[in-house]
Amino acid sequence: MEKLATSLHDILDPEPPPPTKPFVPVSLKRSVLHDVARGLSFLHSHSPPIIHRDLSARNVLLNEGMVAKIADLGMARIVPSLRASTMTKAPGASIYMPPEALEDESRYDVTIDIFSLGVLAIFTLPKCFPDLWQQRTWTTVRGWWVEQSLSVVATTCGR
């Protein structure tokens, strides 16, 4: 069994502050997000698709080579198709969830995980989304995310 040394949350957590904690380069953060996207692609392209429903920095584990693995599939659900299915309120951390998943009984699909990946990217690469740290509600995050074009985000993150 592969040893998973740490979580994305552990390497992003500001405690302990630098210089005690090593600097995490943007290239590593991008690589981790790419690994997570590939993992979600695997789950979503399964037949039938699997929705993780609890993607967060704590559920992204890193091996000794800093390759990310999606963990904690305890809340995952198999959906009959790529169309939205009625499910109970998503169990994950609400900051990572789209609004429709926070209702008691709602219809959602694999896009719930994509939204969570977007929020994870915001937390992982904060310099790419500087205005978000002035306002902390998920509604602001969602509105900002929807309104921005990917080209603007990609250009900003490339710096």
Give catalytic residue positions: 54
Whole-angstrom CA distances from 134 to 137, 139, 141 are: 10, 13, 11
